[in-house]
Structure 1
């Protein structure tokens, strides 16, 4: 049996941060993963997705500028775009493993299972540890209906060698919105089945409404309040059946219906780690309430928004608490969230409905602004914002943007929320002009 100060299960962002910090403090560390090292974001999520978005953005920009000084048609070569994505993803596992070795962190490949409160087995070996961190990320929520075996995950979508002509996405969140924009601009016919009343339920409904203009322009068939209940294999592909006797023919069906912590393989009973509603029971220090030797971070912890910066933050929090004793709690104030549609939609802080539910008094500004210079110079018809400023304190409570550069500009609002900057502070800041950020003074 080998003994370590820390064993980390997983190799994504949270795992990388906590293992590096604890090892730098002179402690012995082991990491393990049954998948290629690097985690979801770098290999199967935000990074490869954004590389595909780059191709779609180029097509969209050329289309918008037709008749405004740009001529000729561009198209996406899907195999070449996937090859471009692989220039980033393919080297990641080897680089990550080399990085662990350079730090003196032992790496193991295989499925990790707890064999006791302080022990894990992997690769036929048992490892004992003073602390264990669960950083296994998330997995697609299992879908239970006839024909569900025909569905592919978002992981597989990002590896497609060719793009089928007819694609159905089940779900209406980030994955469905982003993948539908990529696929439609690559020439696919796309249908989205969404159980909720609208797409992107985590974002402001007014701004989502403005963004839906883009879905319509692309010919994306969005069907809200529709639950898929059966998928049928036919001679011509697949037939997707949903409520209300709806049926859509498809060549490919993609799971975009949400994710949950990936915990099933761990044997948490052996670890004496309790779970409630498929979530680890953790205290305010990201520590198991039933086994103080075990911590969790990132999507596996499911305490903050399921975003890469949150995973990194959790890793820092857990490392501090392991090294110094429980002294640091996670702080999720001012974490921006972006759906990389084209144009993107972004949000930070409270939504209008959340602020009203909390009984806060605030001033709200909301405008659909396609005539502002930021949008006009790009011939973009979708641009708008909504901001919430607390009365009395002048604090930014929430900011919501859809349109060009929203994914970058939202970070300044996040900075304001996290560091208690006021609307007056933003209005009196001197920002480079003309840029997307220079619109901030008019938004608050």
Structure 2
């Protein structure tokens, strides 16, 4: 059966939901298709469920830091099964809620794998053919192939978030967001955690100095971080798994584990879409070739948003922003470009680390004249109040304009404070503007004037 639409959206995550609802509200006939449960990565397999587990780990950390400082809770512990059950109180209802929202907006929703069969047509598992004036690829991302023997034994971030029991020995392959965040959760749930990171340090997208300060917490909670260590294979044994790696390109390393987790990056989930049938071109890395309007350069009927577009950072607010840009271009013509200024990024370790704007290295490469203030300040009240030993910042301000061009924070509450620096960067607030703002005291934000 063939059905016709103004817009067909492949995916059901943040970008897909924003775009489909806005187009339907504008009176357009819209369909969405996703082979996975409706809701997307952030709501079901990423940001939101992860943060719920982080909350449990944070509670344990709060108790441990305050023990001997007026708090007594010697038996505080994470009951993993109960924490996962709590997470499911959020994730469980999401697919049904999303399906109901699609129906309420008059959007046809299909539970099926979509693949292109022409420039303006997709075919679904089951045989339905959907033809549309435009098609939006918002299919999200998937774990990147690792290319070593035994990679099939690794579980994904999605599977980790569904574990009924937490194994005792866990190896995380990779050193980015997933490795950092999941290791902090698992270690505080009393697992023995090892991170094998090919690069020279953890969290390569964050300022290296601040990551160095944060590593104190990894050591404090017993996480074994091995950098410059490349995994060469994983074997299944009678006792679990044996992870074979090479350190510094020479020394052989073996680690025994009950669970091995893929934490080595994600790529756009495009392989099953049969892009060639639509004439949608990709670059040498497999990424979609898009113009400045998030439109395919080879098929004007096709647009992309979020992780599938890979134009901005792989973050939920970027996905939403992309979707809004695409919808405006569909309704008004190609006049709108995405604007990724001042998008904060946070790794929800405990404490968190956050960044927005230019790094020190980027600012120097651009030849900018800037002043920089950087300091590790565990003696400031914000840290002392919660007995946190890691608190620091690095802030960059343009010498000529007094505009904030970059901010990098680690410590308590920085996941919230970074938004104020993001606001300044996106809307052109100067360092003086921030200094003269009267923030509520005592809060994390009230430290901002001392960081400038």
Distance 1:237 1:175 in 2: 22
Residue equivalent to 1:261: 268
Q: Aligned ranges for residues 364-375 of structure 1 at < 5 Å?
A: 364-375=372-383
Distance 1:272 1:326 in 2: 20
Q: For residue 235 of structure 1, report the CA deviation from its aligned partner.
A: 1.6
Residue equivalent to 2:291: 283
Q: For residue 147 of structure 1, report the CA deviation from its aligned partner.
A: 1.2
Distance 2:206 2:275 in 1: 34
| Offset from partner CA, 1:107-154 (integer Å, 9 cap, x none) | 001100111000011131001100000000000001111111111011
SS of alignment partner, residue 409 of structure 2: strand
Corresponding residue to 1:188 among 183, 187, 191: 191
Residue equivalent to 1:87: 89
SS of alignment partner, residue 8 of structure 1: strand
Residue equivalent to 2:122: 120
Instruction: Indicate yes or no: 2:247 matched with 1:245.
Output: no
Instruction: Indicate yes or no: 2:231 matched with 1:228.
Output: yes
| Offset from partner CA, 1:196-241 (integer Å, 9 cap, x none) | 0000010001100110000000110000000000111122111101
Corresponding residue to 2:437 among 425, 429, 439: 429
Corresponding residue to 1:323 among 308, 316, 331: 331
Instruction: Indicate yes or no: 2:60 matched with 1:59.
Output: yes
Residue equivalent to 1:172: 175
Residue equivalent to 1:50: 51
Q: For residue 392 of structure 1, report the CA deviation from its aligned partner.
A: 1.1
Q: For residue 245 of structure 1, report the CA deviation from its aligned partner.
A: 1.0
Corresponding residue to 1:107 among 106, 109, 116: 109
Residue equivalent to 1:41: 42
Residue equivalent to 2:391: 383
| Offset from partner CA, 1:320-341 (integer Å, 9 cap, x none) | 0011110100000000000000
Distance 1:285 1:223 in 2: 41
Distance 2:65 2:301 in 1: 56
SS of alignment partner, residue 127 of structure 1: strand
Instruction: Indicate yes or no: 2:157 matched with 1:159.
Output: no
SS of alignment partner, residue 229 of structure 2: coil
Residue equivalent to 1:131: 134
SS of alignment partner, residue 294 of structure 2: coil
Distance 2:422 2:268 in 1: 26
SS of alignment partner, residue 286 of structure 1: coil
Instruction: Indicate yes or no: 2:152 matched with 1:149.
Output: yes
Listed as ranges, the gaps of 5+ residues in structure 1 are: none
Distance 1:69 1:145 in 2: 50
Listed as ranges, the gaps of 5+ residues in structure 2 are: none
Residue equivalent to 2:314: 306
Distance 1:392 1:116 in 2: 53
Give the total of aligned pairs. Answer: 444
Distance 1:113 1:322 in 2: 22
| Offset from partner CA, 1:344-395 (integer Å, 9 cap, x none) | 0000000000000100000000000000000000000000000000001000
Distance 1:263 1:80 in 2: 36
Distance 2:235 2:132 in 1: 49
Distance 1:20 1:102 in 2: 10
Q: For residue 72 of structure 1, report the CA deviation from its aligned partner.
A: 2.0
Distance 2:28 2:151 in 1: 45
TM-score (normalised: structure 1): 1.00
Residue equivalent to 1:339: 347
Distance 1:241 1:275 in 2: 34
SS of alignment partner, residue 380 of structure 1: coil
